[in-house]
Each structure stands twice: as C-alpha cells, then as structure tokens.
Amino acid sequence: MSQQQSPNDVSIDAIPVDIANTQSGAVKPADVPEEIRSITRGLASDQPPTNPLVVLKAARWWYIHGKGGTDPAFRWAIEWARHLATDTPSDVDQFDEFLEYLVAVGFADENAALR
C-alpha cells in the first residue's frame, strides 16, 4: 500500500472516512458516497442486499459519519446483517425508524414508498 492519505481523509477501502465529520449526526445526502447511498437505499427496497459484507460496509459508514451506535441507518444495517447471518426475523420497529430517518436525511420524501 503505497497510496498516500491525508490526515483528514482516511479510508480502509474505496470509501473515504472524513475525520472532520465523524459522528456529527448532520448527514447531508450530498456528503454520502454513491456506493453507500445505493446500499442504504437498497436496504429500504423490496430486494435488499443479501451479502452481509456489503451491508456491514454501509453500517460502518453510517456509524462513523452519522450518530454512532444510535444512528438509525447503522442500527438497521446491523439488524439486517444479523437477519442474514442467523435467518431470524428482523425487527419491524427498527425498519420503520430507518425509513423515517431516510426522510429526515433527505434520501426519500414522505410520500415515497421505498418498500
């Protein structure tokens, strides 16, 4: 790994981590990388991602850039990964909270049916 990273923009993979905006809780749609945006919207769709590693990638981003462990997108991604790993029912209340959060951060409007 000879790639140079600035101290303000670190990444483990192709998704950058903006150190200055970690756990700010003020996520703007324009600040979300396209891959994370796509995974997040996929988690709200009729055919969510089935690869736990992909889901955990989004969870990590939302944990770092959202509200930490209380971020609804992070919590739903973890819940969905748990569902995939254990084949047990997922928490419907967390899903509803996640959908409301998508509206709050501007990923969907209130009238959009993401399901």
Q: What is the pLDDT of residue 44?
A: 94
Mean pLDDT of 15-35: 73
Could you give the C-alpha distances from 10 to 14, 22, 96, 107, in angstroms and in order?
Answer: 10, 11, 32, 25
pTM above threshold 0.85: no
Neighbouring CB atoms inside 10 A of 45's CB total 10
Query: What secondary structure letter does DSSP report for 16?
Result: E
Mean pLDDT calculated for residue range 42-60: 94
> Three-state SS for 84?
helix
Cα separation, 76 vs 108, in Å, equals 16
Residue 102 has pLDDT above 70, yes or no: yes
Element (H, E) at 98: helix 92-104
